[in-house]
Amino acid sequence: LFSFLVFLKYQIYYGYPLQTYLEYPIIIAQDIILFLFILHFSGNMKQALLYTVTFVGGWCMLTLQKWIIDLAMNLCTLISAASKLAQLQCLWQTKDSGQVSALTWSMSAYTCA
């Protein structure tokens, strides 16, 4: 979600054409709905306000200085790769791949690279 928010803000900040980032608001809305479902069914709905304030505050702070948005854009690749490594570590420790398919992991690794 962080990466999608940064990509969207970056492209708006630098004035890219709307067609180049039109899918990001849809993906962000989808991720937020999924995140709210996770919070609801895990019984942590009270934390939703904290996460909302954090994301909105971060969204506003991204364009305070040009170097902040540029740094955030560069960190997105690192964050995406780190999340994949954390998922792989969890799979390795549990020795249970569950519903993971080789195709989705290879597409995810390809886009991350």
pLDDT of residue 2: 78
| pLDDT exceeds 80 at position 26 | yes
The per-residue b/e assignment along 8-39, b for 16 or more CB within 10 angstroms, e otherwise, is bbbbeeeeeeeeebeebeeebeeebeeeeeee
| pLDDT exceeds 70 at position 98 | no
| pLDDT exceeds 70 at position 103 | no
pLDDT of residue 113: 65
pLDDT of residue 39: 85
pLDDT of residue 101: 66
Q: What is the mean pLDDT of residues 63-86?
A: 82
Q: What is the pLDDT of residues 51-74, one digit of tens each?
A: 888 888 888 888 888 888 888 888
Distance in Å from the first CA to the final CA of the chain: 18
